[in-house]
Structure formats: C-alpha cells, structure tokens
Structure 1
Amino acid sequence: MKIAFLINQTHKEEAYFTTTTMALHALKRGHTILYIGLADFVYVDDKHIDAHVRLINPDTSLTDNEELLEKLKKQPKERISMMDVDVLWLRFDPVIDMHNRPWAPSMGLQFAQLLKKLGRFVINDPDELIQASNKLYLENFPREIRPKTVVTRNYDDILDFMNKQNDKIILKPLKGSGGKNVFMISPNELHNLKQTVEVIARDGYVIGQEYLPEATKGDMRFFLLNGEPIVIDGKYAALQRVQQQGEIRSNIHQGAKAEIASVTEGTLKLVNKVSDKLRRDGMYLVGLDIVGDKIMEINVFSPGALSAASNLNNVDYIEYLIKDLEERVPSFYKH
C-alpha cells in the first residue's frame, strides 16, 4: 500500500513521535510511505488532487526512527496524484500552526474532505474532525463520563464557576495541546484568577474544569482503535502519566513519567460509554485522557505515546495498528 501521513511540516517531526514509529513499521512490512505537509496539496480539478510529497519505498534496512527521519529529510519533494494513494492518515496538530500559519490546519482538513469525497481512505474522518477540532467535542458524550465544565472568555463566568465548585479548578485553552497554559487555581489564589483568564483568552476561548482529587496520581492515556480497546496478550494499550512533584500537567514532554497503567473494570466500563460514538464518527485511532472515573479529554488528531505504551508493556501496539490497516483498506476499496 501507499500510506500518506499528513503532518504539519517535515522539519518539525521528531524521532520519538508515534507517527515516525508508524512509518517505520509500515516500511518494514513492505508499504510505501509518503509525508505530506499541510502546505503541500495541489487542487487540479474536482476529480484530481495532487501533493508535493517526500516518498520512501519499502526499506527493511532502516533500523530505527532516527535513521528514518534522517532519510526522510534528505528526500526531495515530488508531485504525485493523491488518487494513487491508498491511505491518507491525518497526523498533524492544529495547535502547532495556530499562530504562524492559522490557515494551514483548516486547509489540510478541507483537502482531506475532498479526498474522502473522491473515494480515498482517510483517517480519522475529516468531516467529523472539523466538529472535534477543540475540547468541546467531549461535551457530545454522556454527562456522567466528563468533568463539570464551563467554556467562556469572560472572567466573571469563570469566577462564578469556581464559586460553585467551592474547590480548585483547572483552566486551559479550549484549543490547546502539550500542556501549554494549563493552570490550577485554588480558592486562596483568586487574586491571580483574572490575570490567568486574560493570559489564556488571548488565544481564544477558555475551558474551566472541576478539579478531580485523583489527578494527583496523574492521568491515564488509553487508546482505542475503531472504538475498541487495543489489547495484546491481555495488556491494554494504555499508560499512566505521573507528573513531577509540584506540577499539575501530565504531558510526557513536560517531564511526566510514564508508568504501567492499572486498567480496571471501571476503566473499561467508562471507555465503553464513548466507544459507539467514536466508531460512528470515524475516529479510527483515539487517545482518551482519564482521571478517576472521568474522561478529561479525547485526543483525535494525532494522539501520541502509543510507542511508550508498547515499551512499557513489552508488546507491539504499532504493529497491531498497521496489520489492522492492511485488513481494513482492501475491503474499503471493494465496496
């Protein structure tokens, strides 16, 4: 197969990214990989979309992610027809381009929508990703699985929400990633609240969430494939992200430590409450962020840490992913 990964920009890719590991596994299983930046599409007409891509043919000599990226970045771009591509996998982070290239994520989704209409296999579903472009997507799921939430740009609204909680709250950008501008506000820190809201609101809406005491133990990143848990040899594709002392953010690249997750019956019941909708929405690969009995966030654009889960559990979830794709794509084009 020809598997194209739609990313922000090649020079922003890192060896530890889940996308890089996916690409390496695909190459070793005999597939051609293509990297497409958000600025690389060409609209020819309503039946033809091209793209300037960096292409690598099947290569089993590449031993690790670093070698793959080194080879990829040396590849000159070539223009190809997207009608010759079997899979377009959307693996970009809209937040990365929010300031310098605000047009890029929306154009990436628009081209992906056109390719879906032209009969290409696109994951995750671009029509639904538009609806899931920020953290409000979570509000489409059952109330009992999500924390109490307010979304606003108004300080008084946040203050009212905090008074109703009578406890700490978490404030963060509605459209954000990577733990940037995430704050915990306690009742004795109200003197900082207005300034904090103003800082976050510079970039758009603010989301306030109730503070869950279980958050002191970090959060669980739990992966779903087509709405179902990924499990190999009884080991679920999940990890516990434990923040550093004095830190509220559980992001790995913010210094959190990845540990083996304790997946309970309660966890699986919680996940089951969102599975059907995620499947209906065409969310092929999803990462849920779970604290206690609540889902704090649904990551649908480019959920990371799947490689870390593989390493912790000593099983290969990425291989599982590529094999599933190999079975799914041929049946898609038969219909």
Structure 2
Amino acid sequence: MRIAFLVNSIEGEMAYYTTTWLALAALGRGHEVCYVTPGDFVLRQDNSLLIRAITLNGSKPKKPETLLNALKRERAKISTIDIREVQVLFLRNDPSEDAERRPWAVYAGTNFGRLAAAAGVIVVNDPDGLALAQNKLYFQGFPDIVRPTTLISRSIEEIRAFIEDHPDGVILKPLQGSGGKNVFKIRSKEEANLNQIFEAASGAGYLIAQNYLTEATAGDIRLFLMNGRPLERDGVYAAFRRIPAQGDVRSNLHASGTAEPATITPQILSVAEKLRPKLMDDGMFLVGLDIVGDIVLEVNVFTPGGFPEIAAMHGVDFSEDVVIALEDKLRVRTLYGGALSNHALATL
C-alpha cells in the first residue's frame, strides 16, 4: 500500500507531529510513504490527476528525526505519480495556517481530494466532510447540549453584550484559526484593552465568543475517535489531558500547554457518543475532541495531534492502529470492486 500524506509544507513538519508518527507506522508495516503539499497536484488535459510527491527512495527510517531528515534532504528529488498509483491520500494539512499567507492553498486538499476519491483512492478524512469544516462554524452543527454558549460576530457591540451576559468570563477567538493563536479570555465588557483584543482577534475575519468554563483551569481532555468511536487498545484510550501554563487560557501543547494522563469516564464517552452520528455522516475517519466536563470545546478534524505524547505516557503507539484501519479499508474496497463510496469507506 502506498500512502500519500498531504501537509502544509515539508519544511514545517516536526518530529513530534502525529503525521510523522503515522508515516513511521506505515513504513514499519511494510508500506510505501510519500508526502505532498497543496502546490503538488497536477490535473492534465486528459483529466488525469498526478501528484509531485517526495518519496524516501527505498529507505525505511525508524525514528522521527531520521524520517524528516530524509524528506528534507531529498526535497529536490520529486517523483510525478499518477494518483491511481496511490491507495490512500491522508489529508493532514491545516487550512487555517494558509488562510492569510496562501489563500489559494486553503481548499487544495478538499478540491483535489475529491478528484482523487473519484479516481478510486481512499481519501481520509472524506474531502466532502472536510469542506464543511473549513472553520469553526462546523462545530455549530453538533447538538446544543455538548457545546458552549456561542456568539459568532464581527460586531464589538454584540460581543460586549455577550460578555455582559456571562459574568464568569468569555473566551474570544477567530472563527478561522488553530494552535491557540489569538485566543483571549475576557473577564468583563469594561476590560481596558478590549478594543485592542478585538482588533487582534478579528484581523482574519469573524470571531467566536464562548462562555468560559471554570473547569477549564484544570485543562481539557483530548480524546481521539477513529471511525466514529473512541480509539482504544487493551483498555488504554488514545487520550490525554492538556494543562494550560499558569496565567494562560490556552491548553494547546504548542502554545505552552503540557500533557498529562487522562481518566476517560463514562461521562466523557457519553459526550463522544453524542457527536458520533454527525462525524460518521461526514466521513470523519480520525478526529480529536477537546472536552471539559460534559462540553466539547473543539472538534479537530484536519490535523489532530497528540500520539507521541500518548505513547510517552502509556507505551501505546496508536499510529499503528490507524494504519491497520487503513489496511482494512483497502481490503474492503478491493472486495467490493469500487462499489462503495469514499464517504462510506472513510468511517467503515
């Protein structure tokens, strides 16, 4: 099986990225791996879709650093591959990273992903589902009971009124964003620098204001779902608690947060179950939920991370489970001779 990973850029990939660990797991199970970026698709005049892919040229690195060094060292050695020579296209780019600097790249994964799926490639997460999730407005499609109270607006007057209605405080963040960038806690509408915060956070467009959950001071729990259900092996869940640094409202690991073991309770599993129907309906193969109590703060469908942290805590590398699931999908696709849609295969 050949797996192509779509990422924002080769230079930006890191050893601690879950994508890197997924690639290593695939290599470890005897598969071929290649990387593509949003600018590496080619649609020729005969409607054939090709990718200008970076491959490892037969090498089988076993460590994240070795893998990335090989990719970056061989950056100029690009092979042009017909997409039909790829069995799985794994969309692992973050569109919000490109929204400001390279807006043309935002929809490359979903647009070309659709063409790849039409050519018979298994594309995960399903590109039609991802197209619905290009920003946090997607979250509003889940049941009210699992979501914080939310306002979406670019009006500072509307946001001031929302803040006044929530004396415990409000979290303000961009509608299009990730990684904890421009996330602020507002304590009251009289906050002295509210105008400056508004300007900083609204630079990329609409804002989300959500009621602050006091339990969030202890962090949130990142729980992975695969094929719509909690990812688990031998009683260990693919999950961890993300603890914000003192004085910071953000628990993102790459924005000063730290990772600790998490206890997955029946309450948390019940929350995940409430999201399952829509995630299945949208073809979301691998998802990361950020949960506080019985409320979901984020549904991460593009590049949820945390496998290396989970492996360090529990000695379980869930990357292998993901690759095995992809192998199963390929067997089913072969068995049915292409009769099943990519949408169905994505969460089968």
Question: Could you tell me the TM-score, scaled by structure 2's length?
Answer: 0.93
Q: How many residues align?
A: 334
Paired residue for 2:136? Answer: 135
The answer on whether the counterparts of 2:21 and 2:307 sit within 8 Å (CA) in structure 1 is: no
For residues 103 and 266 of structure 2, the distance between their equivalents in structure 1, rounded to whole angstroms, comes to 42
Identify the residue that residue 40 of structure 2 maps to in structure 1: 40
- In structure 2, C-alpha distance between the alignment counterparts of 1:116 and 1:201, rounded to whole Å: 35
1: CA distance between counterparts of 2:200 and 2:94?
21
Q: How far apart are the structure 1 equivalents of 2:89 and 2:82?
A: 12
Partner residue in 2 for 1:107: 108
CA contact (8 A) 1:48 1:83 kept: no
Structure 1 runs not aligned, ≥5 long: none
Give the distance between the partners of 1:300 and 1:189, measured in 2 at CA: 36
What secondary structure sits across from 2:192 in the alignment? helix
Aligned AA (2:7)? I
Q: Can you list the C-alpha shifts for 1:212-239, whole angstroms capped at 9, x where unaligned?
A: 0100001111100010101111111100
In the alignment, residue 194 of structure 1 is paired with which amino acid?
A: N
Give, as a single letter, the amino acid of the residue that structure 1 aligns with 2:65: E
Aligned match of 1:279:
280
- Aligned residue identity for 1:68: L
Q: Does 1:168 align with 2:151?
A: no
Q: Which residue of 2 aligns with 1:70?
A: 69
Tell me if the contact between 2:83 and 2:119 (Cα under 8 Å) persists in the aligned partners.
no
Q: Give the structure-1-normalised TM-score.
A: 0.96
Tell me whether 1:214 sits opposite 2:215 in the alignment: yes
Indicate if the aligned counterparts of 2:163 and 2:189 stay in contact, CA closer than 8 A: no
Aligned residue in 1 for 2:253: 252
> C-alpha separation between the residues in 2 aligned to 1:333 and 1:47?
24
Please tell me the residue identity of whatever aligns with 2:51.
A
Q: 1:165 aligns to what SS in structure 2?
A: coil
| TM superposition shift of 1:56 | 2.3
Contact 1:18-1:304 at 8 Å conserved across structures: yes
Q: CA deviation at 1:107?
A: 2.2
Q: What secondary structure does 2:44 align onto?
A: strand
What pairs with 1:137-216 in structure 2 (closer than 5 Å)?
137-187=138-188, 189-216=190-217
SS of equivalent residue, structure 1 residue 116: helix
Cα RMSD of the aligned pairs, angstroms, is 1.3
- Deviation for aligned residue 1:46: 6.0
Deviation for aligned residue 1:58: 5.7
Match of 2:231 in 1: 230
Q: Is the 8 A contact 2:109 2:127 kept in 1?
A: no
